Amino acid sequence: MSKLLMITALITTTVQAKVSNDELISFAKRYIISKPSIKVESLDVLEVVKIKDMEGWEAYLTVMNLEYQGKKLSAPQIIFINGDLATPVLMNRKKNINYAKELRPTVPESLYDDAHLLFGNKNAKHKILVFSDPQCPFCIDMVPKIMKAAKEHPDTIALYYYHFPLIQLHPVSQVLVRIMHVAQELGRNDIVEKIYSLKIDPRETNVEKIIKAVKDHTGFPVTIGQINAPKVFDVIKKDEKAASRLMVSGTPTVFVDGKWDKMRDRYKLLIK
């Protein structure tokens, strides 16, 4: 049995939360948020899962709602509970498993909307949801393959695409994802795929140069006014909130039929 399958077998389905929200907030304030300047306003429990091979332990997958210097922030956090015991990290030393790195929430149905459907039919047998950055090397390698699978098997795979630009690593992506969204709104989902083969300096920030590079590469014209529209920024912000909701921290992050696909290759099994 592969390590991935082994880990999957060690985690059961969702169970009902038993620890009160106030207790979780108190724990977060005392042991997770160390800076007094950061206020824990509330905490949302997304799911509670039981870990089979760690008797009595349950993982509370949560999102902490914070306030820092007048700004509202949210941060994903897993809290492991066993009776009166609580910890933000749970290790199985014998099996070399860090459970905090093996868990993600189930995708809520609300995230499978028409606006994010990139390729495939919405009534397809399987749903794949991807968070990606078009300049991330791993995304460039993997995401076009998933796109191809959805295009070639539209009744098997419905691919839902969410923007998650890693702007600290690839500042150019901040502009690219806005261009991609404008293209999607115009029904040009093919442009999203083509931008993955765009060769450009990942640290480029000149908007006019980026727009020209995209047009030269894809033939898709767009204006600064189009990509700077408030509604475009709102969409990207909502995608980032969805990423926080699903505890996404890097790219590409892939979910297949609602469940996190850590190895990002489960789609291959769907089209055999």
CA–CA gap between residue 162 and residue 238 (Å, rounded):
9
Predicted structure pTM score: 0.90
Q: What is the pLDDT of residues 90-120, one digit of tens each?
A: 999 999 999 999 999 999 999 999 999 999 9
Q: H-helix or E-strand containing 1?
A: none
Q: At the fourth CATH level, which superfamily is domain 109-270?
A: Glutaredoxin (3.40.30.10)
CA–CA gap between residue 220 and residue 171 (Å, rounded):
21
For residue 192, the model assigns a pLDDT of 98
- Name the residue among 115, 64, 61 with its Cα closest to residue 259: 61
For residue 53, the model assigns a pLDDT of 86
Q: Read off the tokens for 55.
A: 């008797």
Q: Which stretches in the chain have pLDDT values below 50? A: 1-9
CA–CA gap between residue 259 and residue 8 (Å, rounded):
10
Dihedral angle, C-alpha 91, 92, 97, 102, nearest 10 °? -60
Domain spans of the chain, in order of start: 3-101, 109-270
CA–CA gap between residue 143 and residue 130 (Å, rounded):
8
For residue 11, the model assigns a pLDDT of 55
- Residue 61 · residue 14 · CB < 8 Å: no
Q: Read off the tokens for 29.
A: 């304030």
For residue 14, the model assigns a pLDDT of 61
DSSP 43-109: EEEEEEEEETTSTT-EEEEEEEEEEETTEEEEEEEEEEEETTEEES--EETTTTEEGGGS--PPPPG
Give me the residues paired with residue 86 across strands.
Answer: 81
